[in-house]
Chain A
Amino acid sequence: MHIALQACSARHPSAQAEAPPALKAIDLVLAQGGQVAVIGPSGAGKTTLLHLMACALKPTQGQLLLDGRDPWALRTAELQRLRGQLCLAPQVPPLPPRQRVITAVLAGLLPGMSLWASLGSLLYPRQIDLAETALARFDLAEKLFERVDRLSGGERQRVGLARLAVANARLLLVDEPLSALDPERARQACASITAVAREQRATLVATLHHVDMALQHFPRIVGLRDGEVVFDLPTAEVSPERLTDLYARHPDELTGAAPPLALSVADAPAVALTCR
């Protein structure tokens, strides 16, 4: 999918009106099949940028064009069909704790399924092989019929990524896919994500805290700080000076690991039954 952001500004819907926008007049063009890593210190607007491209957030100014069309000019049903062609994987894997891994992975197929087919798949999962192959890419094939709440935080994150592999989307948007993974798994996951995007000829945008991973696996790097693009370069031209400059006020984030991930949402106990 071809993406063009033209002077796009965005703010979170619950942000206060006087707060500065999370993204300030961003210009960005991504060719069909391109792979880009977005790096930058915390609070730079990386997640907002992904949400903007996922049509989850409407730009307050400027225009977003997906394959030359403005998604926000479409009717709701058409916009929803367009959303079916892209797959957004948030940082905290969006998995209901009581669901089985296979159901969670096959949920990536829902946009292309009729309601009856998806209900039937709840009764007896369709395409077990597909789910297993997708999980095997992230070294989780043996967890196929486990329940999500029996998995560790890192395993949950990889289940969320396996959903990308079945979705057959034309635009993959991945938010901090490595934040709960150890270095070896992170390298494997990164390689799998880029391979999936190549095979499906999908455009891939990933936000990453691991700068070295971004440099190793992605041909193009976008540096984001305070809602503005600091640089947008082929990986070979990203010099250490540029990185130090990008993280000038947060040098620890450049050298250290990712900040601790708020996985507590998924681990929190279910809401207690209140008396009604």
Chain B
Amino acid sequence: MVTQPAPLAVRRDPAWIGRLFALLATGVVAWPLLVLAEFKPWTLLSPESLRPTLHFLGDFFPPKLEPDFLLLVARETWRTVAIATVGIVLALGWAIPLALIAARPLSISALSGRMARVPAVVRQAVRWLLMVLRSVPELIWALIFVRVVGLGPTSGVLAIALTYAGMLGKVYADILESSDAQPTQNLLRNGSGRLQAFFYGLLPHSATELTSYTVYRWECAIRSSAVLGFVGAGGLGQQMDASMKMFNGSEVASMLLVFMALVWLADLASSLLRKSLA
């Protein structure tokens, strides 16, 4: 049976009105945000701000490469990497158990329908704890710890450990929840323990994603430990702060190059690890 096509006037995309409305609504919402954020890109190009910027950037070349300065940079780089690594390891010590508690596929009571009340409350409480940990920026934690333990790398390590425990725990739990739950549920249904089900069901499925996210966060921790150096938590950041205050562009440039090398290394490590796990 052949149906006659309807007259053209009726054949309008019915979704069009909704799309137009969404576009207008975005504009209405975004405009006050731009005003609040004082988004005025043209000030970047005004001559009175352009000249000192270009002057500072011009100082970046050539980067400073004197041996004793390089030695100092190498030592501070090592310290930065150490702060980031120790911070991440401490964070993992909290993030892994919290993520395992929070992940819903590892619930035994949820196997037969709804999760029981007590485990549901515990899971939500852990989610909130993770939220509290990561909602305080590491800079604030560092400022607090600098007052408690004094200037130096310890406060940087503690600050990274707390914030990153929150971030890693949340994302680990999300990754575990978004992976295929069927093998895990089957293991639990056949009487395995939760941790056994994690190692034999969930982990093989999400190992690469967990690894790549962990290495990426390690890279973030390196950058963040540099920022923490600005408030006196030691490392490359503290040196960078000193050089910035002296408007010494060439020193800043060599330190930025070191950062790029570190990020490149992290990327390399991540891809190697993922290849070996895939």
**Docked CA distance A55–B112 (Å):** 8
A85 and B192 alpha carbons, distance in the complex (Å): 10
CB pair A110–B205 under 8 Å, yes or no, is: no
Residue pair B190, A96 in contact (C-beta under 8 Å): no
Task: Judge whether A273 and B191 touch: CB under 8 Å.
Answer: no
Contact B182 A87 (CB under 8 A): no
Task: State in angstroms the CA–CA spacing of A176 and B178 once bound together.
Answer: 27
Q: Is the CB of B191 within 8 A of A54?
A: no
Contact with A along B174-218 (1 / 0, CB 8 A): 100011101101111111110111011100110111001100000
Given A270-B205, A276-B213, decide whether A84 and B190 contact each other with a Cβ distance below 8 A.
Answer: yes
The digit string for A75-105, where 1 denotes a CB below 8 A from any CB of B, is 0100011111111101010111111000100
Chain B proximity of A136: nearest CB distance (Å): 22
Among candidates A81, A97, A99, A110, residue contacting B196 with C-beta atoms closer than 8 Å: A110
A27 and B106 alpha carbons, distance in the complex (Å): 33
Query: A147 to B179, alpha carbons, bound, how many Å?
Result: 18
Contact A80 B191 (CB under 8 A): yes
**Cα(A167)–Cα(B190), bound, Å:** 9
Quick check: B183 and A94 within 8 Å, CB to CB? yes
The minimal Cβ–Cβ distance linking A210 to chain B, given in whole angstroms, is 23
Minimal beta-carbon separation of A228 from chain B (angstroms):
22
Q: Which of A76, A80, A96, A119 contacts B183 (CB 8 A)?
A: A96
Q: Counting CB contacts under 8 A, is A108 at the interface?
A: yes
- The prevalent SS among residues of B at the interface is helix
Q: Is the CB of B191 within 8 A of A118?
A: no
Please determine whether B191 and A90 come into contact, CB atoms closer than 8 angstroms. no
- Indicate whether B70 reaches chain A with its CB closer than 8 angstroms: no
Does A265 lie at the interface of the complex (its beta carbon under 8 Å from any beta carbon of B)? yes
B108 lies within 8 A of chain A by Cβ: yes
Cβ contacts under 8 Å, A86 to chain B: 190-191
CA distance A108 to B187 in the complex (A): 8
Given known pairs A99-B204, A270-B205, A273-B209, the reply for A110 and B111 (CB within 8 Å) is: no
Choice from A98, A110, A273 contacting B187 with Cβ under 8 Å = A110
A113 to B192, CA, bound (A): 9
B107 to chain A, nearest CB (A): 11
Q: Are A118 and B205 in contact (CB under 8 A)?
A: no
A11 to chain B, nearest CB (A): 10
CA distance A58 to B110 in the complex (A): 11
B10 at the interface (CB under 8 A from A): no
Q: Which residues of chain A are within 8 angstroms of B108 by Cβ–Cβ distance?
A: 76, 80
The reply to whether the CB of A115 lies closer than 8 angstroms to some CB of chain B is yes
Query: Count the B residues whose beta carbon is within 8 Å of the partner chain — how many?
Result: 37
A257 within 8 A of B: no
Q: In the complex, are the beta carbons of A113 and B212 less than 8 A apart? A: no
B171 → chain A closest CB, angstroms: 5
Given contacts A57-B112, A98-B207, contact A83 B191 (CB under 8 A): yes
Residues of A within 8 A of B1 (CB): none
Contact yes or no, A271 B179, CB < 8 A: yes
A107 at the interface (CB under 8 A from B): yes
Q: Determine if B182 and A115 form an interchain contact, defined as CB atoms under 8 angstroms apart.
A: no
Contact among B112, B192, B204 with A111 in the assembled complex (CB-CB below 8 Å): B192
Residues on B with beta carbons closer than 8 Å to the beta carbon of A169 = 190
Beyond A96-B201, A271-B209, 9 additional contacts (C-beta under 8 Å) are: A13-B113, A56-B189, A82-B191, A83-B188, A83-B189, A97-B205, A265-B180, A265-B182, A273-B209
Please report B residues at the A interface, Cβ cutoff 8 Å.
108-109, 111-114, 171, 174, 178-180, 182-183, 185-193, 195-197, 199-201, 204-205, 207-209, 212-213, 277-278
Top 10 nearest A-B pairs by Cβ distance?
A: A84-B191, A13-B113, A111-B191, A94-B186, A83-B191, A96-B204, A110-B192, A94-B183, A99-B204, A96-B205
Chain A interface residues toward B at CB < 8 A = 13, 54-58, 76, 80-88, 90, 92, 94-99, 103, 107-108, 110-111, 113, 115, 118-119, 122, 167, 169, 265, 270-271, 273, 276
28 A–B contacts, CB within 8 A, in A order: A13-B114, A80-B193, A82-B191, A84-B191, A86-B190, A88-B189, A90-B182, A90-B186, A94-B201, A96-B200, A96-B205, A98-B207, A103-B200, A107-B192, A110-B192, A110-B197, A111-B192, A113-B196, A115-B193, A118-B196, A119-B199, A122-B199, A122-B200, A169-B190, A265-B180, A270-B179, A270-B205, A276-B213
